[in-house]
Amino acid sequence: MNYFKILFYSVWLAGSVAFFLPAQAETFLKFPEGFLWGTATAAYQVEGGIENDWSAAGLDAGKAAEHYEHYEEDFDDLEQMGTQIYRLSLEWARLEPEPGKYDLKALTHYREMLQSLNRRGIQPMVTVFHFTLPPWFVAKGGWTKEENIADFVRFTHWISAELKDEVNWWFTLNEPLVYAFKGYDAGQWPPFVKNRNLALRVIKHLILAHGQAYRAIHAEDPIAWVSFAKNISLLEPNWPANPLDQAMTGFQSYLFNETFWEAISKGELSFSVPGIEPIVIPPNADLKGSLDFIAFNYYTRYLIAADGSQKTRQGVPVTELNWEIYPEGMLKVLRMANQHAQKMKIPIFISENGLADGDDSQRPAYLVRHMAQIWQGIQEGIPVRGYLHWTLMDNYEWADGYAAKFGLMDIERNWRPSAWLFQDMIQQNGFPAQWLEKYKLPER
């Protein structure tokens, strides 16, 4: 058995006990023993030299951050920072350039990366599908065809069998609804389609793919921890007193934020709205209960109008991408996630949280204030087991290119002040409450 599996179960018990202890004095916001601190990345955004459906569509990351070649130095930074967990993805197009034909050189490289993390005492958290696809899979219709799920499941089965000795934590998918709507509804990402019915069909197939991939991983490693990373944007009525705004907010929040979790909790789904294609999944044994922990990515809040439009509140702090900085939303989302976690009796991870802030003027306060909301959730009994900051270094931010700076480090690996602050948090497993006065978000 992998060393980290033994260690994890020991720490897990200690951490579980900590949730039932009296709340710490508010002079210091202490996190439970065994709380995991880390960062998250995605292969296409950092590795460089990848040919996939994005590069074929003209959105070529090029050299990116050259993480594929310089991972040892990057892991040195992770180790110096004190992180205990690191989320990365495996590039499917590298590993399976042709259907059923695997690149063993690429497999060896990824195995060496994972071994390097484990030697440092940093647990790898691996994502199988993080938005990018082999061109051959796209040529077959990609996620629009249910029969293509078998290709993804085959790949997941193979890669989990090959790497099970190095990996305890798996994500089958990253942000499936973001992928579906960006690629098939808004038409902003490959394959640049604008067809809402097709987007909903892709969502259905991704839900089914998760359930089957979950079973494939567990067939190789019964005690692996498997989930998917769900993006949660907090949605609230533009005018809270307007019943039409309330109704549209409820509809969008259910579709975007809760359908996937509900499908897994119940093992089935029936979602229909007049005028668009329904999502109907009859009782499915692979899907039901196919989560070992809930993981969500939280970045921002949107206000929803009756016509369905999403607005950003005026006069509030925003990121370089004009996303509202709303730390209070973290606690609201934790409470939402906890309703599903309680039903399934599983813990919670924040799998991404961060902001585009090249001059680092807002990130220190962003970190402190979001972590304070997480700490408050833990005091309420919400079983949060870890936090992953997005991201380690500046990278290729999908259709926004290199303009958005999300990194604790810049592309040259210079630590921003927020990286030293994050290191301090990790070393203390918390931070003094007075930091909430010291680190304030600037007025807009």
Nearest to 224, CA basis, from 159, 156, 143, 169? 169
Q: How big is the CA angle at 250 (ends 246 and 377), to the nearest 5 degrees?
A: 105
pLDDT computed for residue 273 by the predictor: 84
The confidence score (pLDDT) of residue 241 equals 97
- For β-strands 310-311 and 294-304, DSSP reports them as antiparallel
Residue 125 tokens, joined = 């958290």
Domains assigned to the chain:
3-438 (3.20.20.80)
CA distance 402 to 393: 11
Q: How many CB atoms lie within 10 A of CB 361?
A: 13
Task: Specify the residue for token string 């059923």.
Answer: 100
pLDDT at 444: 64
The DSSP element (H or E) to which 271 belongs, if any, is strand 269-271
Q: For the chain, what is the radius of gyration of the CA atoms?
A: 21
Q: Are 301 and 370 in contact (CB under 8 A)?
A: no
Neighbours of 399 (CB within 10 A): 11
pLDDT at position 307, please? 96
Check residue 76 and give left, alpha or beta (phi > 0: left; psi -120 to 50: alpha): alpha
Which alpha helices (H) appear in 239-362, and where do they start and end? 243-253, 259-266, 328-344
Q: Residue 74 is encoded by which pair of tokens?
A: 């990057």
Which among 86, 124, 46 has a CA at the least distance from the CA of 426? Answer: 86
pLDDT mean values, one per 10 residues, the chain (444 residues): 43 39 67 98 98 98 98 98 98 98 98 98 98 98 98 98 98 98 98 97 98 98 98 97 97 95 97 90 98 98 97 95 98 98 98 98 98 98 98 98 97 98 98 97 78
Nearest to 390 by CA among 361, 349, 429: 349
What are the angstrom distances between the C-alpha of 324 and each of 246, 300, 301, 304, 423?
20, 6, 6, 14, 25
Residues, the chain: 444
The rounded distance, in Å, linking the Cα atoms of 444 and 276 is: 40
What's the number of CA atoms in the CB half-sphere (13 Å) around residue 421? 22
- CA 55/CA 326 separation, integer angstroms: 34
Cβ atoms of 226 and 172 within 8 Å: the answer is yes
pLDDT number for residue 348 = 98
Residue 322 has which token pair?
A: 């004009």
What backbone phi and psi angles, to 5 degrees, belong to 279? -105, 110
Query: What DSSP designation does 142 have?
Result: G
Distance CA 75, CA 117 (A): 7
What angle is formed at CA 235 by the lines to CA 293 and CA 186, rounded to 5 degrees? 90
Phi-psi region of 275 (alpha: psi -120 to 50; beta: other; left: phi over 0): left
Going along 277-336, which residue ranges are E strands? 279-281, 294-304, 310-311
Q: Count Cβ atoms below 10 Å from residue 8 Cβ, excluding itself.
A: 20
Kindly report the pTM of this predicted structure.
0.94
Hey, how many other C-beta atoms are within 10 angstroms of the C-beta on 335? 12
The span from the CA of 346 to the CA of 348, in Å, is 7
SS3 of 30, please? strand
Tell me the C-alpha distance between 309 and 315, whole Å. Answer: 19
